Amino acid sequence: MIKKIFIAVFFLVVTIFAGMEIDKKISAQNIEEVANGPKILVLNYHQVNNSFTPLAVPVNAFADQMNYLVDSGYIAITPDELASGLAGEITLPEKPVMITFDDGYIDNYTNAFPILKALGLRATVFMVPGFVGKPQYMSWENLKEMEKNGITVQSHTLNHAKLEELPDDEIRNELLNSKLMLEENLGHPVEFLAYPTGTYNLHIAGIASDVGYKGAFTVKYGNVDLGSNMYALERVPIFQTENTMKSFFERVEYRQSFEEFGWIKR
Ligand SMILES: [Zn+2]
Protein backbone atom coordinates (compact mmCIF):
# COMPACT_ATOMS: atom_id res chain seq x y z
CA MET A 1 0.00 0.00 0.00
CA ILE A 2 2.72 2.46 1.02
CA LYS A 3 4.71 1.41 -2.04
CA LYS A 4 1.72 2.14 -4.28
CA ILE A 5 1.25 5.58 -2.75
CA PHE A 6 4.96 6.21 -3.14
CA ILE A 7 4.84 5.27 -6.83
CA ALA A 8 1.74 7.43 -7.39
CA VAL A 9 3.38 10.44 -5.71
CA PHE A 10 6.58 9.82 -7.67
CA PHE A 11 4.71 9.90 -10.99
CA LEU A 12 2.73 12.95 -9.94
CA VAL A 13 5.93 14.83 -9.10
CA VAL A 14 7.59 13.75 -12.37
CA THR A 15 4.53 14.86 -14.34
CA ILE A 16 4.44 18.26 -12.61
CA PHE A 17 8.14 18.87 -13.27
CA ALA A 18 7.85 17.74 -16.88
CA GLY A 19 4.89 20.09 -17.29
CA MET A 20 6.85 22.99 -15.82
CA GLU A 21 9.75 22.25 -18.10
CA ILE A 22 7.51 22.33 -21.19
CA ASP A 23 5.85 25.57 -20.04
CA LYS A 24 9.21 27.16 -19.47
CA LYS A 25 10.40 26.20 -22.95
CA ILE A 26 7.24 27.54 -24.58
CA SER A 27 7.35 30.84 -22.75
CA ALA A 28 11.10 31.32 -23.33
CA GLN A 29 10.52 30.72 -27.02
CA ASN A 30 7.59 33.16 -27.00
CA ILE A 31 9.59 35.86 -25.25
CA GLU A 32 12.33 35.54 -27.84
CA GLU A 33 9.81 35.58 -30.67
CA VAL A 34 8.14 38.71 -29.30
CA ALA A 35 11.51 40.41 -28.73
CA ASN A 36 12.70 39.68 -32.26
CA GLY A 37 9.33 40.30 -33.91
CA PRO A 38 7.85 43.54 -35.26
CA LYS A 39 7.27 46.53 -32.98
CA ILE A 40 4.45 48.68 -34.27
CA LEU A 41 4.01 52.24 -33.06
CA VAL A 42 0.33 53.21 -33.02
CA LEU A 43 -0.17 56.92 -32.35
CA ASN A 44 -3.49 58.18 -31.01
CA TYR A 45 -4.70 61.72 -31.70
CA HIS A 46 -8.04 63.40 -31.09
CA GLN A 47 -8.06 67.04 -32.24
CA VAL A 48 -5.56 68.97 -34.33
CA ASN A 49 -6.18 72.68 -33.76
CA ASN A 50 -4.80 75.69 -31.92
CA SER A 51 -7.12 75.69 -28.91
CA PHE A 52 -5.57 75.24 -25.48
CA THR A 53 -6.94 71.87 -24.48
CA PRO A 54 -4.81 68.77 -23.87
CA LEU A 55 -6.85 66.82 -26.46
CA ALA A 56 -5.85 69.28 -29.21
CA VAL A 57 -2.39 69.06 -30.75
CA PRO A 58 -1.52 72.46 -32.33
CA VAL A 59 -1.42 72.39 -36.14
CA ASN A 60 2.29 73.32 -36.36
CA ALA A 61 3.22 70.70 -33.77
CA PHE A 62 1.25 68.09 -35.69
CA ALA A 63 3.09 69.02 -38.90
CA ASP A 64 6.44 68.78 -37.07
CA GLN A 65 5.48 65.37 -35.69
CA MET A 66 4.50 64.03 -39.10
CA ASN A 67 7.72 65.38 -40.63
CA TYR A 68 9.69 63.78 -37.80
CA LEU A 69 8.13 60.39 -38.60
CA VAL A 70 8.98 60.70 -42.29
CA ASP A 71 12.54 61.94 -41.63
CA SER A 72 13.15 59.12 -39.12
CA GLY A 73 12.19 56.43 -41.61
CA TYR A 74 8.78 55.48 -40.22
CA ILE A 75 6.39 53.98 -42.76
CA ALA A 76 2.67 54.54 -42.15
CA ILE A 77 0.57 51.38 -42.33
CA THR A 78 -3.15 50.53 -42.22
CA PRO A 79 -4.89 48.41 -39.55
CA ASP A 80 -5.22 45.65 -42.17
CA GLU A 81 -1.47 45.64 -42.67
CA LEU A 82 -0.93 45.58 -38.91
CA ALA A 83 -3.14 42.48 -38.61
CA SER A 84 -1.58 40.73 -41.63
CA GLY A 85 1.90 41.60 -40.40
CA LEU A 86 1.27 40.12 -36.95
CA ALA A 87 -0.25 37.02 -38.57
CA GLY A 88 2.94 36.59 -40.61
CA GLU A 89 1.12 37.02 -43.94
CA ILE A 90 3.11 40.08 -44.99
CA THR A 91 6.45 41.55 -43.99
CA LEU A 92 6.04 44.85 -42.18
CA PRO A 93 8.40 47.77 -42.82
CA GLU A 94 11.27 48.09 -40.36
CA LYS A 95 9.69 51.09 -38.58
CA PRO A 96 5.93 50.75 -38.93
CA VAL A 97 3.63 53.43 -37.57
CA MET A 98 -0.15 53.61 -37.52
CA ILE A 99 -1.48 57.17 -37.19
CA THR A 100 -4.96 57.13 -35.63
CA PHE A 101 -7.60 59.74 -34.73
CA ASP A 102 -10.52 59.07 -32.38
CA ASP A 103 -14.04 60.58 -32.46
CA GLY A 104 -13.99 62.20 -35.93
CA TYR A 105 -13.51 65.91 -35.19
CA ILE A 106 -13.85 68.25 -38.19
CA ASP A 107 -10.27 69.48 -37.69
CA ASN A 108 -9.03 66.03 -38.68
CA TYR A 109 -10.32 66.97 -42.14
CA THR A 110 -9.51 70.70 -42.19
CA ASN A 111 -6.13 70.63 -40.39
CA ALA A 112 -4.62 67.13 -40.24
CA PHE A 113 -5.68 65.76 -43.61
CA PRO A 114 -3.82 68.37 -45.77
CA ILE A 115 -0.60 67.62 -43.86
CA LEU A 116 -1.02 63.84 -44.15
CA LYS A 117 -1.86 64.15 -47.83
CA ALA A 118 1.14 66.37 -48.60
CA LEU A 119 3.47 63.87 -46.92
CA GLY A 120 1.76 60.81 -48.41
CA LEU A 121 1.06 59.41 -44.94
CA ARG A 122 -1.76 56.94 -44.47
CA ALA A 123 -3.90 57.20 -41.36
CA THR A 124 -6.96 55.76 -39.63
CA VAL A 125 -10.00 57.62 -38.28
CA PHE A 126 -12.03 55.82 -35.61
CA MET A 127 -15.40 57.45 -36.26
CA VAL A 128 -18.55 57.52 -34.15
CA PRO A 129 -21.26 57.22 -36.85
CA GLY A 130 -23.79 58.78 -34.46
CA PHE A 131 -21.68 61.98 -34.54
CA VAL A 132 -21.38 62.26 -38.35
CA GLY A 133 -22.41 65.73 -39.56
CA LYS A 134 -22.93 67.17 -36.06
CA PRO A 135 -21.25 70.52 -35.32
CA GLN A 136 -17.50 69.95 -34.80
CA TYR A 137 -17.59 66.53 -36.49
CA MET A 138 -16.88 65.32 -40.01
CA SER A 139 -19.57 64.66 -42.62
CA TRP A 140 -19.84 61.53 -44.79
CA GLU A 141 -18.45 63.67 -47.67
CA ASN A 142 -15.39 64.60 -45.60
CA LEU A 143 -14.82 60.95 -44.70
CA LYS A 144 -15.24 59.75 -48.28
CA GLU A 145 -12.81 62.32 -49.61
CA MET A 146 -10.24 61.29 -47.02
CA GLU A 147 -10.73 57.63 -47.88
CA LYS A 148 -9.84 58.40 -51.51
CA ASN A 149 -6.52 59.77 -50.23
CA GLY A 150 -5.06 57.11 -47.99
CA ILE A 151 -7.16 57.50 -44.86
CA THR A 152 -9.27 54.56 -43.67
CA VAL A 153 -12.36 55.01 -41.50
CA GLN A 154 -13.07 52.39 -38.83
CA SER A 155 -15.40 52.20 -35.81
CA HIS A 156 -15.39 53.99 -32.44
CA THR A 157 -18.88 52.62 -31.53
CA LEU A 158 -22.28 54.03 -32.47
CA ASN A 159 -22.64 56.73 -29.79
CA HIS A 160 -19.36 56.79 -27.85
CA ALA A 161 -21.08 54.98 -24.99
CA LYS A 162 -19.39 53.80 -21.80
CA LEU A 163 -19.40 50.16 -22.84
CA GLU A 164 -18.51 48.77 -19.41
CA GLU A 165 -21.74 50.23 -17.99
CA LEU A 166 -24.04 48.71 -20.63
CA PRO A 167 -25.96 45.42 -20.73
CA ASP A 168 -24.82 42.92 -23.37
CA ASP A 169 -27.49 43.70 -25.98
CA GLU A 170 -26.54 47.40 -25.92
CA ILE A 171 -22.81 46.65 -26.15
CA ARG A 172 -23.64 44.49 -29.15
CA ASN A 173 -25.73 47.28 -30.66
CA GLU A 174 -22.87 49.81 -30.21
CA LEU A 175 -20.28 47.50 -31.76
CA LEU A 176 -22.29 45.84 -34.52
CA ASN A 177 -24.49 48.70 -35.72
CA SER A 178 -21.61 51.20 -35.87
CA LYS A 179 -19.81 48.67 -38.08
CA LEU A 180 -22.86 48.18 -40.34
CA MET A 181 -23.61 51.92 -40.59
CA LEU A 182 -20.01 52.74 -41.57
CA GLU A 183 -19.93 49.87 -44.06
CA GLU A 184 -23.19 50.98 -45.66
CA ASN A 185 -22.10 54.62 -46.02
CA LEU A 186 -18.48 54.03 -46.98
CA GLY A 187 -18.81 50.84 -49.02
CA HIS A 188 -16.01 48.75 -47.54
CA PRO A 189 -15.63 46.27 -44.67
CA VAL A 190 -15.10 47.86 -41.24
CA GLU A 191 -13.08 45.36 -39.22
CA PHE A 192 -11.31 47.45 -36.60
CA LEU A 193 -12.55 49.17 -33.49
CA ALA A 194 -11.19 51.63 -30.95
CA TYR A 195 -12.86 51.39 -27.54
CA PRO A 196 -14.27 54.78 -26.39
CA THR A 197 -11.93 56.23 -23.73
CA GLY A 198 -9.83 53.11 -24.28
CA THR A 199 -11.90 51.15 -21.77
CA TYR A 200 -12.48 47.47 -22.38
CA ASN A 201 -12.57 44.17 -20.57
CA LEU A 202 -12.39 40.56 -21.71
CA HIS A 203 -16.18 40.37 -21.96
CA ILE A 204 -16.42 43.43 -24.25
CA ALA A 205 -13.45 42.14 -26.25
CA GLY A 206 -15.31 38.84 -26.72
CA ILE A 207 -18.36 40.66 -28.13
CA ALA A 208 -16.09 42.68 -30.46
CA SER A 209 -14.70 39.44 -31.82
CA ASP A 210 -18.20 37.90 -32.05
CA VAL A 211 -19.68 40.68 -34.19
CA GLY A 212 -16.80 40.39 -36.66
CA TYR A 213 -13.98 42.75 -35.74
CA LYS A 214 -10.46 41.52 -36.49
CA GLY A 215 -8.88 43.75 -33.88
CA ALA A 216 -9.57 46.49 -31.33
CA PHE A 217 -7.42 49.33 -30.00
CA THR A 218 -7.10 50.62 -26.44
CA VAL A 219 -4.99 53.45 -24.99
CA LYS A 220 -2.71 51.05 -23.13
CA TYR A 221 0.71 52.62 -23.62
CA GLY A 222 3.22 50.50 -25.53
CA ASN A 223 4.17 48.85 -28.80
CA VAL A 224 1.95 46.44 -30.63
CA ASP A 225 3.97 43.26 -31.07
CA LEU A 226 3.53 39.49 -31.27
CA GLY A 227 2.71 39.46 -27.54
CA SER A 228 -0.26 41.81 -28.02
CA ASN A 229 -3.86 40.70 -27.65
CA MET A 230 -5.63 41.52 -30.98
CA TYR A 231 -8.63 42.83 -28.98
CA ALA A 232 -6.53 44.97 -26.62
CA LEU A 233 -3.99 46.58 -28.95
CA GLU A 234 -1.65 49.18 -27.47
CA ARG A 235 -1.47 52.82 -28.58
CA VAL A 236 0.63 55.83 -27.68
CA PRO A 237 -1.68 58.80 -26.95
CA ILE A 238 -0.34 62.20 -28.06
CA PHE A 239 -1.51 65.30 -26.24
CA GLN A 240 -0.72 68.99 -26.07
CA THR A 241 1.73 69.64 -23.23
CA GLU A 242 4.00 72.55 -22.18
CA ASN A 243 6.44 71.22 -24.76
CA THR A 244 4.38 69.16 -27.17
CA MET A 245 7.27 68.18 -29.44
CA LYS A 246 9.49 67.04 -26.54
CA SER A 247 6.64 64.95 -25.06
CA PHE A 248 5.97 63.46 -28.48
CA PHE A 249 9.62 62.56 -28.97
CA GLU A 250 9.88 60.94 -25.52
CA ARG A 251 6.67 58.97 -25.94
CA VAL A 252 7.67 57.74 -29.40
CA GLU A 253 11.35 57.01 -28.88
CA TYR A 254 11.43 55.75 -25.30
CA ARG A 255 8.41 53.47 -25.49
CA GLN A 256 10.61 50.42 -25.75
CA SER A 257 12.52 51.25 -22.56
CA PHE A 258 9.30 52.09 -20.71
CA GLU A 259 8.14 48.57 -21.52
CA GLU A 260 11.44 46.99 -20.54
CA PHE A 261 11.48 48.81 -17.22
CA GLY A 262 8.34 47.12 -16.09
CA TRP A 263 5.36 48.51 -17.93
CA ILE A 264 2.98 45.59 -17.92
CA LYS A 265 1.59 44.70 -21.32
CA ARG A 266 -1.67 42.88 -20.66
ZN1 LIG B 1 -13.33 58.76 -28.17
Q: How far is the CA of 197 from the centre of ligand 1 (A)?
A: 5
**Fold of the domain spanning 39-260:** TIM Barrel (3.20.20)
Q: Please state the rounded mean pLDDT for residues 7-21.
A: 57
Report the pLDDT value the prediction gives residue 10, as an integer from 0 to 100.
Answer: 61
Q: How far is the CA of 89 from the centre of ligand 1 (A)?
A: 30
Q: How far is the CA of 138 from the centre of ligand 1 (A)?
A: 14
Report the pLDDT value the prediction gives residue 192, as an integer from 0 to 100.
Answer: 98
Report the pLDDT value the prediction gives residue 166, as an integer from 0 to 100.
Answer: 95
Confidence of residue 14 (pLDDT cuts 50, 70, 90): low
Q: Please state the rounded mean pLDDT for residues 91-105.
A: 97
Report the pLDDT value the prediction gives residue 254, as an integer from 0 to 100.
Answer: 77
Q: How far is the CA of 7 from the centre of ligand 1 (A)?
A: 60
Report the pLDDT value the prediction gives residue 17, as an integer from 0 to 100.
Answer: 53
Q: How far is the CA of 196 from the centre of ligand 1 (A)?
A: 4
Q: How far is the CA of 160 from the centre of ligand 1 (A)?
A: 6
pLDDT digits (tens, 9 = 90+) for 142-176: 999 999 999 999 999 999 999 999 999 999 999 99
Q: How far is the CA of 37 from the centre of ligand 1 (A)?
A: 30
| DSSP characters over the chain | -HHHHHHHHHHHHHHHHHHHHHHHHHHHHHHHHHHHS--BEEEEE-EESSSSSTTEEPHHHHHHHHHHHHHTT-EE--HHHHHHHHTTSSPPPSSEEEEEEEETBHHIIIIIHHHHHHHT--EEEEE-GGGTTSTTB--HHHHHHHHTTTEEEEES-SS---GGGS-HHHHHHHHHHHHHHHHHHH-S---EEE-GGG---HHHHHHHHHTT-SEEE----S-B-TTS-TTSB--EE----TTHHHHHHHHHHSHHHHHHTT----
Instruction: Give the range among 15-24, 26-35, 182-191, 192-201 with minimum mean pLDDT.
Output: 15-24
More confident residue, 84 or 197: 84
Q: How far is the CA of 27 from the centre of ligand 1 (A)?
A: 35
Q: How far is the CA of 190 from the centre of ligand 1 (A)?
A: 17
pLDDT digits (tens, 9 = 90+) for 201-246: 999 999 999 999 999 999 999 999 999 999 999 999 998 888 888 9
Q: How far is the CA of 5 from the centre of ligand 1 (A)?
A: 61
Q: How far is the CA of 192 from the centre of ligand 1 (A)?
A: 14
Report the pLDDT value the prediction gives residue 199, as an integer from 0 to 100.
Answer: 85
Q: For the chain, what are the domain ranges?
A: 1-36, 39-260
Q: How far is the CA of 194 from the centre of ligand 1 (A)?
A: 8
Q: How far is the CA of 65 from the centre of ligand 1 (A)?
A: 21
Q: How far is the CA of 103 from the centre of ligand 1 (A)?
A: 5
